[in-house]
Structure formats: C-alpha cells, structure tokens
Amino acid sequence: MSSGHLSAEQSERYSRQISLSGIGPAGQQRLLQARVLVIGLGGLGSPVALYLAAAGIGQLELVDYDIVDNSNLQRQIIHRSNTVGRFKVDSAKEQLLELNPDIQVAVRKQALEGQALQSAVDAADVVVECTDNLASRFEVNAACVKAATPLVSGGVMQFEGQVTVFDVRDPGSPCLQCLHAPVQEGEGETCSRVGVLAAAPGVIGSLQAVEALKVLLNLPTLTGTLLLVDLLHNDYHKIKIPRNPRCPVCGTRV
C-alpha cells in the first residue's frame, strides 16, 4: 500500500487509469489509500475483488466462511481447480496477490455479525455486498447506515442482475431496507436453486467494481438508481428508487 507519491512502478502499472479525466495521480493515490470490504467471494465477489485489486485498492478485506466446491468453478472465476476444498478467502487472496503484490489483503473466514460486522464496516471506505443471503444483506445494510459507509449492492440469477449504490451521506439516498419489507430467514431464490449463466455474475460484479471505484473517486454513481440488466435480451433499464422517510433503518437520519 502506498503512503506518499506514486512510485515509478505504480505510475506505469496504473498508467491507463491515471490518464483518465477525473482520476489522475491524485485519484490513483486515493485508491491506493482506500480500504474496501468485500462480503462474499462467489460469482459476484470474484470479479469485484479481481478488478479492485487490479485497480490498486490499497487494502481489501475479504469475508466468506465457505470453501471452494467444484460446482463453483463455472462462474466463480477467482478460484481454481487446485483450490477446491480450501476456504474461498484464502483461494482469493492467493490470486489477488499474484495479480497485484502492491496491495494488502486481509481475510475473515466467518460470517460477520453484530459488533464484528459493525467494526469492519466502520473501518471501510466502501462496502461491496456480494452474497445471496437476504438476511445478511439487511444486516450489512443496517451497519452501513449506522456508519455512513457507502454500500454497493448487486444481485444475479439466471440471465438477469441488478446493481445499485446506497450512500446515506447523500440526504436523498435510500437504503436497502427502503426497497423491501423485512424478510424471514431462508426466503428468496438463490443461484443454486434457479441456476445462473456462467458470465452473468462477471457482468454484474464488474459493474459493482466500477461503482465502488467511482464512490472512492467522487465520480457520479448509481446512488438512488437501480440498474436492471437482462442479458438474455440485452436490455438495460434504470429505475429511480426513492428514500422511504418511514424506513425503520434510515428514516430517522437528518
């Protein structure tokens, strides 16, 4: 992780990104000093982690309690056949440091809950949520609201996906709870139940990585907008999502 000016090696590595308007050396330095919490190292978390590492996020914290299974390899591109049976966070960390030894990668091999989750969210500059567990998503959302930490949310199944950003630093931004009634444990469909096209998580996860980078660079994001992606018919739609002033999670904020 960098703490001063860009080195010659960093300037070369990130040159195509540095040349973009709105980024430059100062923006790259912000990325190198940023801390991103990635929750879930499956189909979505794989491209998220890979692209954030490649972009030069200085500190990545990876959270997943699962192990790599042979059935994961069709879409979870950060893992390899020789890492089947290992913890996903260990498999991912190995690939990320091979890709970019310029960064730091911390791992947590358990589901984060309660104060441990809150502390991890408090320490992050942005959280990218990549699970298909609805109860966990609501808990992460509540922690992000409490910490005023931006949350990049994504979901995918079959040929479809969605991406949005919840950023309660923006007075008009909703949170995840604004969009849904509370759910019971076990509700909701998952990829294991309904299937997913191999490349679909790659598309949605890449969009999540883009949004996380834009949050860190203070560039326009999908805050307040839900992007719906239908890859079967190549349709992309944006829907404005209003904040619920009576939301039990974020409705009381000023």
* pLDDT tens per residue across span 67-112: 999 999 999 999 999 999 999 999 999 999 999 999 999 999 999 9
Q: In this structure, is the dihedral angle defined by the CA atoms of residues 45, 47, 48 and 49, taken in order, positive or negative?
A: positive
Mean pLDDT for the chain overall? 93
Q: Rounded CA gap, 60 and 49, in Å?
A: 8
Residue 189 banded pLDDT, cuts 50, 70, 90: low
Provide the pLDDT for residue 252.
77
Phi, psi (degrees; rounded to nearest 5) at 182: -55, 145
Provide the pLDDT for residue 181.
57
Provide the pLDDT for residue 190.
63
> What crossing angle do the helices spanning 114-123 and 134-147 adopt, rounded to 10°?
50
CA–chain centroid gap for 168, Å, is: 17
Phi, psi (degrees; rounded to nearest 5) at 118: -60, -40
> Quick one: DSSP state of residue 157?
E
Residue 158, class by beta-carbon neighbours within 10 Å (0-12 exposed, 13-18 middle, 19+ buried)? middle
Over residues 171-199, the mean pLDDT reads 75
Q: How does pLDDT run across 107-164, given as a tens digit for each residue?
A: 999 999 999 999 999 999 999 999 988 899 999 999 999 999 999 999 999 999 999 9
Residue 40 banded pLDDT, cuts 50, 70, 90: very high
Its pTM stands at: 0.94
Q: Looking at per-residue confidence, does 253 or 162 come out higher? A: 162
Whether pLDDT at 4 is above 90: no
Over residues 197-208, the mean pLDDT reads 97
Residues 12-240, CATH architecture: 3-Layer(aba) Sandwich (3.40)
Q: Rounded CA gap, 25 and 174, in Å?
A: 32
